[in-house]
Amino acid sequence: MDRDRVMEIVKVLLKSQEHITINKIAEKINVSNKTIRNDLKKVQEILEENGLTLLKKAGVGISVNGLEENKINLLQTIKNRTNYIEPYYSDERKFTILRRLFMSKKKVVVNEISEELYVSNTTIHKDLEEVQKWLKNFNLFLIKKRNQGIEIEGEESNYRRAISELVFQIDNMERLQEADYINYEGRLDYKTKEQLKSIINIDYKKLEELISKIEIDMEFSFSQEAYISLLMHIAICIKRIKEGNDITLSQKIFDNIYTTKAFKCAKELSRELESHFNIRIPESETGYITLHILGSKMQEKDLEYFSLNKVDELKLEEQIARDIIELSGKSLGIDFSEDKAFLNGLILHLRPTINRLKYGLNLKNPMLEEIKSNYPEVFGVAWICSSIFEKYLDLKIPESEIGYIAIHIGAAAERNRKTIKTLVICHSGIGTSQLVSARLERSFKEIETIGIVSYVDIKKELLDKAEMIISTVPIDISKPVLLVTPLMTREDTKKIEKYIENNFNKAKTKEKKFIKKEIFYRSKKFNKREEIIHDMCKILSEKQYINKHFEQDAISRENMMSTEVGKGIAIPHGEIANVKESCIALTVLEYPMKWHTEYVQFIFMLCISEKDRGKMKGIIKKLYENMDDSNFFQALKSNKQNGVNILNKLEL
């Protein structure tokens, strides 16, 4: 769509004292009637943003309705600018305002923003409410001073954390062209480069050269995600130093990194930066760059090269690692207590992770979607473990970091999973028994097939070695035999699952006591996910399942990482400490709504208390298993009793 043409249409309408036909407008601008009709939607958006409306009268024409003052202001604004920037949606305006606030060295005046975005002051004031909410996630505050303007206030570390996040969220507001990117040969993709430039416009080519030199000196290559994160950190560092701001680094951390090779490289980098960008970099900034280098490099080290004894500087990392090991072990039913590789691997991973979390560095996880899709059970356990970070650091861990924790848990699970030595017996001993064996190993990771034999070829040594015997034909032996059909039906699978649960799993329950269930059917249309979360939390709070802090915690988590998981499902949740009594709540919407990027109809709110924490793994696992079953969703939608029965099955 031609933006200048749209503005010409607006000018024609504003200058007209009466209704004007589309034919007349087309003649004035020298385009077709169809073109004018196609542009009217955009014309209407511009008018509405400026407190005006577009009136259409059949057989007469169209005109602009509203205060003369608003018409004059819009017309004057168009005259003052030769090129009109396409109107922004509210989210786009929010990020544009944030960018202006972070870039400006002085207070920003509302009138200037409204003129830039072609909207009224009233619209900007509404946008500022959203800006304030966004800043609150980083403990920053929007300060408004009468007749002076607005600015952001807060701690320097939070300021940097917010800028770091903004770079990843901003959507190239000014429609930057790719012309200057054609001859670019660096490692940054166009979008990231332009997003960085839109906030911090410095010499990125030189910056990339200096980071490449670090890779040579350190004898390793950054991953693309770590490369971008380090480049972004240094860019923010340069900008903030030029503005007279600095960030502190504890002496304890500084003493621990001072003798490392990474610090020497960071020191050399700092000297180069000082020379090229005409700034002075304090040692605290050099130390912070060192932490980033170490955090990235440690991901590529082989665990066997590290000998980790009790180190004072790693006490926090070791405590968090031990808590993750204990909680994941309980959730998966695996004893990890003797797995030193798991402990050491977590400690090494947690050291840079904690630094990234504390200082707000965002390390993207390119494997995240694959982990969530292929290993939902392990990702669910890692998700449960995220509460440990809140306990020790008072920080919420992003989904990308949960994915990295899931990798460590999954590797440990594979190392420590106890197998059940299983003998498969069949009538022929060849075709059907091999089919049974293949399906067993696909359905049960804990099963290890030690033999596939005909019932006439059973040997004593195999019987003695077998911990479980599965047969497609009745046989008379002294050991228990599970009889299944040659095609291994769903009933057969359930029978084996129950046998394993009763005979091999440590956790046995005499009488099943289900977590309480609450189901809400909603026919009203919801516009925002916060409305649904509030609707559910209000009832759950009244019924004494949760305290007053649970709702805000759940909303804050959603703002950090969406809990939509596909198939029309979202799983919002709050901190365990804010749960009084465990409950699984479900809202079924008559009208699905857009949660973040996907439409959602089923909202599962998992309110799990400390004493029931171990049940979370099984619930999440069963939920993922049922996501492809249309009957599961039909039962949830049918009525409350059916829904409760289905939800109870998630605990079996």
**pLDDT digits over 111-126, tens only?**
777 766 666 677 788 8
292 and 338 belong to one structural domain: no
* Residue finishing a domain among 416, 443, 475: 416
Which one of 249, 270, 300 terminates a domain? 300
Q: Which domain holds residue 629?
A: 516-649
556 plus 623 within the same structural domain: yes
Instruction: List the single range of 156-160, 202-206, 293-297, 374-378 with lowest mean pLDDT.
Output: 293-297
What is the pTM for the complete model shown?
0.42
Same domain, 22 and 74: yes
The token pair at 167 is 């770079």
Residue 534's pLDDT band (cuts 50, 70, 90): very high
Rg (CA), the chain: 31
Q: Within a domain: residue 185? A: no
Residues 39 and 106 in one domain: no
Query: Are residue 206 and residue 281 in the same domain, yes or no?
Result: yes
User: Does residue 564 sit within a domain?
Assistant: yes
Q: Domain with 559 in it: what CATH number? A: 3.40.930.10
What CATH number corresponds to the domain at position 373? 1.10.1790.10
pLDDT tens digit string along 403-423?
Answer: 888 888 888 887 777 778 888
The number of domains in the chain is: 6
Average pLDDT rounded to a whole number, residues 522-551: 89
In a domain, 188, yes or no: no
* 143 and 101 both lie in a single domain: yes
Which residue do the tokens 């084996």 mark?
496
Under a CB-based contact definition with an 8 Å cutoff, are residues 170 and 100 in contact?
Answer: no
Write the single-letter amino acid at 620: I
Torsion angle (degrees, nearest 10) of CA 276, 281, 287, 288:
-80
Looking up residue 63, the CATH number of its domain turns out to be 1.10.10.10
Does 205 fall in a domain?
A: yes
Considering the domain architecture, whether residues 520 and 644 belong to the same structural domain is answered as yes
Question: Does 166 fall in a domain?
Answer: no
> Which amino acid is it at 477?
I
Q: Are 71 and 18 in the same domain?
A: yes
Any domain includes 126:
yes
Tell me how crowded residue 590 is: count the other CB atoms within 10 A of its CB: 11
- Residues 311 and 410 grouped into a single domain: yes
| Number of other residues whose CB lies within 10 A of the CB of residue 552 | 14
Residue 206 lies in a domain: yes
Of 168, 88, 175, 162, residue with least CA distance to 132: 162
DSSP class of residue 412 equals H
Residue at which a domain ends, from 416, 448, 481: 416
Instruction: Tell me: do 210 and 281 sit in the same domain.
Output: yes
Q: Which whole number is the average pLDDT over 618-622?
A: 77
Residue 71: CA count within 13 A, CB half-sphere: 15
Q: Which of 161, 308, 313, 314 is nearest to 251 (CA)?
A: 313
Q: pLDDT tens across 386-400, in order?
A: 878 878 887 778 888
> Are 205 and 140 within 8 A, CB to CB?
no
